[in-house]
């Protein structure tokens, strides 16, 4: 890790920890019913931590995007670590937003009785995520006994390089490895998509199906207007969610979002019409087409055993980074749901909050579909990884 990246990462992590510490200070003051001065001091510290966090996250995102631009200028695909670090930033900042929203709820900004468990949960989530990200973003993930960890994903079975005894065995291993990789890509995405669809359905109590579809299909355009509320901390939380959505849109790219928007809307219609999520994703990810292509490639005369073994090893290396992306997406969906639950009870903001939540869910859903397509090589819109199809094509002998 370069000195500049380490400095930017540490500044960002420090800004996130400042929110966590200030949130815990407020949590303690509210639980122990400290005197008014201590409560007001905690409120002030949490407000100040928001400013520090804005500076830290803005600087970190700018640095990461500058690295993306640097990579794009050399006509190389955007590296997986840079994009994953920005995905991690998105998750962490959603959890920071949730801390402010639940703090506002406990300070009476929703005109409901305080719900301390919401703030407790928000702080616990941010604490757990910060601990994981501190290792992941600084590149200091360390395996435990028998465990390999990659961000939020881990396995008890480390990937060992394959060395086949003969070409027939190598081809068989590659074929089964590709089958396993494609199944993993669909299964992991299915879990996230199912959760997103279930949460989006709840928004129909606040907005019409037509407005929902417009919000999902228009993700490549300007962000919908965010509600302006009276409560200080809830407003800070909403502003941070809006900033997160924009960051994710910038990372994925407006062109890719516009292109995938129609697919997302069709996915919504098909799922709510009774189709199975797994089957729909298999079609979106062109799983059968990829399998057919692999079937043709492995019949080619002159395949090199060592190259086939390397392809099998490359397929195995896709698992943890992909699982990490999907784990972050699952966590992001949960945090959006928790924040929306607090915000949707505010009568004056109901429709706008629902539209903002729809945009947040929609961007996450689009990102999940795009990442799945990237790993399976069915769309090549992101071009972050050598997916299953590209790895298989790499087995072809030189012409």
Give pLDDT tens digits for 57-90: 999 999 888 887 776 544 454 456 778 888 899 9
Phi, psi of 282 (to 5 degrees): -60, -40
Q: Which residues contact 80 (CB under 8 A, 6 or more apart)?
A: 321, 384, 385
Give pLDDT tens digits for 7-29: 888 999 999 999 999 999 999 99
Report pLDDT for 173: 94
Neighbours of 36 (CB within 10 A): 8
Q: C-alpha distances in angstroms, 370 versus 264, 298, 325?
A: 10, 27, 11
Q: Which residues contact 371 (CB under 8 A, 6 or more apart)?
A: 189, 322, 325, 326, 382, 384
Highest mean pLDDT out of 97-111, 136-150, 349-363: 97-111
Gap between the Cα atoms of 337 and 354, Å rounded: 11
Rounded mean pLDDT, 192-206: 90
Q: Is 383 left (phi over 0), alpha (psi -120 to 50) or beta?
A: left
Neighbours of 156 (CB within 10 A): 9
Report pLDDT for 150: 76
Q: 1-141 has which fold?
A: A middle domain of Talin 1 (1.20.1420)
Residue 188 has pLDDT above 70, yes or no: yes
Report pLDDT for 289: 93
- How many angstroms separate the first and last alpha carbons of the chain? 39
How many residues are present in the chain?
Answer: 399
Q: At what angle do helices 319-343 and 305-317 cross, to 10 degrees?
A: 20
Residue 377: helix, strand or coil by DSSP? coil
Residues of the chain with CATH 1.20.1420: 1-141
Q: Which two tokens stand for residue 372?
A: 């799945």
Highest mean pLDDT out of 2-11, 240-249, 371-380: 240-249
Rounded mean pLDDT, 108-116: 90
Q: At what angle do helices 167-203 and 319-343 cross, to 10 degrees?
A: 0
pTM strictly above 0.85: yes
């Amino acid at each position: 890790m370069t000195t500049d990246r380490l400095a930017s990462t540490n500044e960002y992590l420090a800004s996130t920890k400042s929110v966590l510490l200030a949130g815990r200070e407020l949590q303690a003051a509210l639980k122990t019913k400290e005197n008014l001065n201590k409560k007001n001091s905690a409120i002030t510290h949490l407000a100040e931590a928001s400013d520090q966090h804005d500076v830290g996250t803005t600087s970190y995102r700018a640095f990461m995007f500058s690295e993306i631009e640097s990579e794009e200028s050399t006509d190389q695909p955007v590296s997986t670590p840079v994009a994953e670090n920005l995905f991690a930033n998105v998750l962490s900042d959603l959890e920071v937003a949730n801390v402010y929203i639940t703090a506002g709820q406990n300070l009476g900004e929703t005109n409901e009785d305080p719900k301390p468990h919401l703030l407790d949960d928000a702080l616990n989530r941010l604490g757990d995520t910060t601990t994981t990200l501190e290792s992941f973003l600084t590149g200091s993930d360390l395996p435990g006994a028998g465990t390999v960890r990659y961000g939020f994903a881990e396995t008890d079975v480390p990937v060992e390089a394959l060395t086949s005894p003969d070409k027939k065995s190598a081809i068989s291993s590659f074929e089964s490895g590709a089958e396993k990789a494609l199944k993993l890509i669909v299964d992991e995405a299915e879990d996230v998509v199912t959760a997103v669809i279930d949460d989006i359905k709840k928004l129909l109590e606040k907005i019409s199906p037509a407005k929902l579809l417009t919000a999902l299909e228009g993700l490549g355009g300007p962000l919908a207007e965010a509600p302006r509320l009276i409560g200080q901390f809830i407003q800070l939380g909403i502003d941070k969610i809006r900033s997160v959505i924009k960051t994710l849109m910038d990372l994925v790219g407006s062109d890719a979002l516009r292109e995938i928007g129609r697919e997302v809307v069709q996915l919504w219609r098909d799922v709510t019409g009774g189709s199975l999520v797994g089957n729909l994703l298999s079609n979106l990810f062109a799983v059968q087409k990829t399998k057919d292509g692999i079937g043709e490639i492995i019949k080619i005369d002159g395949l090199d055993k060592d190259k086939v073994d390397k392809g099998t090893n490359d397929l195995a290396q896709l698992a943890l980074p992909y699982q990490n992306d999907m784990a972050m997406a699952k966590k992001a969906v949960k945090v959006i749901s928790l924040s929306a639950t607090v915000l949707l009870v505010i009568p004056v903001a109901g429709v706008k909050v629902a539209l903002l939540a729809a945009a947040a869910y929609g961007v996450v859903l689009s990102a999940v579909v795009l990442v799945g397509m990237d790993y399976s090589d069915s769309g090549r819109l992101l071009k972050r990884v050598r997916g299953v199809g590209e790895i298989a094509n790499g087995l072809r002998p030189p012409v």
